[in-house]
Amino acid sequence: MTVTGGSVEKELEGMLGKRVSVVGLGYTGLPTAAVLASRGYSVHGVDVNPRAVDTINSGRAHIVEPDLDMLVRAAVTTGRLEAHLAPRPSDIFILCVPTPCTPDHLPDLHHLTDATESICPHLERGNLVVLESTSPPGTTEMLAALVTERTGIPAGEILWAHAPERVLPGRVLREVVENDRVIGGIDDASTSFCAAFYRTFVSGELHLTNARTAETVKLIENAYRDVNIAFANELSLVADELNLDVWELIELANRHPRVKILRPGPGVGGHCIAVDPWFLVASAPHVTRLIRTAREVNDHKPAYVANRILRRAERFRKPTIACLGLAYKPNVDDLRESAAVEVVRELMHAGTAEIRVCEPFVESHPEFPLVGPDEAIEGADMVVFLVAHDIFRKIPRKALEEKIIMDVCGAYR
């Protein structure tokens, strides 16, 4: 079922008295909390990181996202957004905490269960709990059962729905509002109430279903992207074997009206695409051979890239290698599951070269000292483009003369 239009003003009027808690103030939670505050809601933000809480309460964002600082400042100044270390009673709870994988590629839901446990003392009959964290099929129902066990409130008297986030770093504030959303409740009442709530701040279409379908849709979306990226990454390996230019190959192949090959890179990063396909594999391990293989292709790419860099550096007795970029995608500060980080880690571990690392979107890194682009390149024997940040595209060609250039992401091209 798809919901469009409707009396947003009437729904907003009925919802604005509701208290909203957003649990998890990261790349999804904080923008969502700020948007809700801008719509007139009183928002209680919750995060376990004291530094993040203090930063938000000072009117600033602790993550890099265009226009987010301005929106957080307005929300805090008007008193519509406050950040705290613990939940409090609310009418609506939105869970936006991380859902990583274990080293064995199984879903690690401990952040989610911890967040659910934390709101249990504050839940009342008639509350709505929305799970935005990407989760394996059945997670929303599992958490609902956990709450019933902990609180004694009978099943069905707390509303539960899954509404997976669909935002892209760098465009989050726009996409929180404009993107279509899938809303899936554990029952019809949950779906309807959750849809009425989202209608008050989402201008995109709302597609109503059940919780398990909503959970699986998000996993399918990212598995689809992962498979397509794996094809591009495998093409880059083929091109290396055949001594061909992969960028030219893809550009020419894409001249076909029904071909649209993606760009290869050092692997796949970000919390979603690098993780979510494994949730599908774990849910149906005997029938997900393609999805598993795509994950293996993309997971293997950082080691392949590092080995190729080291082979090309063998001509130097003590090479200096400038590695440009650590983020998982261009022009963001998000290093979660970053393939570029893995490449640099492999190079550092080899210990055969001096490695200079430049990532202009973060101030520091716990493993690698960071330098600016000029310092990284000056005197380097090799320059490796790992992330296609705009700033790297502006490096003068003259500064790269007489250096070996390895462009893993298409930035130099």
Which residues form the catalytic set? 218, 272
Of 268, 384, 270, the residue nearest 332 (C-alpha): 270
8-state DSSP, 299: H
**pLDDT higher than threshold 50 for residue 77:** yes
Q: What CATH number labels 2-204? A: 3.40.50.720
3-state secondary structure at position 81: strand
pLDDT of residue 412: 85
Read off the pLDDT band of 271 (50, 70, 90). confident
Q: Kindly report the CA angle at 132 between 4 and 282, in degrees rounded to 5?
A: 115
Residue 125 contacts residue 89 (beta carbons within 8 Å): no
Dihedral of CA 109/110/114/117: which sign? positive
Q: What is the average pLDDT value for the chain, to the nearest integer?
A: 94
pLDDT of residue 9: 55
pLDDT of residue 11: 58
Could you give the percent of the chain with pLDDT greater than 70? 97
pLDDT of residue 13: 62
**What are the sequence ranges of the domains in the chain?**
2-204, 220-407
Do the two domains 2-204 and 220-407 of this chain adopt the same fold? Answer: yes
| Other beta carbons less than 10 A from residue 149's beta carbon | 10
CA 166, CA 273: separation in Å to the nearest integer? 12
pLDDT of residue 167: 87
3-state secondary structure at position 147: helix
Cα 339 to chain centroid distance, Å, stands at 14
Strands 42-46 and 19-23: parallel
At 46-74, the pLDDT tens digits run 999 999 999 999 999 998 888 999 999 99
Token representation of residue 329: 């995608």
Question: What is the architecture of the domain spanning 220-407?
Answer: 3-Layer(aba) Sandwich (3.40)
Read off the pLDDT band of 385 (50, 70, 90). very high
pLDDT of residue 12: 58
Question: What is the mean predicted confidence (pLDDT) over 228-256?
Answer: 97
At 180-209, the pLDDT tens digits run 999 999 999 999 999 999 999 999 999 999
Residue 130 contacts residue 138 (beta carbons within 8 Å): no
At 344-360, the pLDDT tens digits run 999 999 999 999 999 99
Question: What is the mean predicted confidence (pLDDT) over 382-409?
Answer: 95
pTM of the complete model beyond 0.85: yes
pLDDT of residue 270: 86
Question: Any residues with CB less than 8 A from the CB of 123 and at least 6 apart, and which?
Answer: 93, 129, 147, 151, 153, 158
Q: Kindly report the CA angle at 11 between 31 and 190, in degrees rounded to 5?
A: 75
Of 277, 373, 389, 292, the residue nearest 340 (C-alpha): 389
Could you give the percent of the chain with pLDDT greater than 90? 91
**pLDDT higher than threshold 80 for residue 14:** no
CA 383, CA 293: separation in Å to the nearest integer? 31
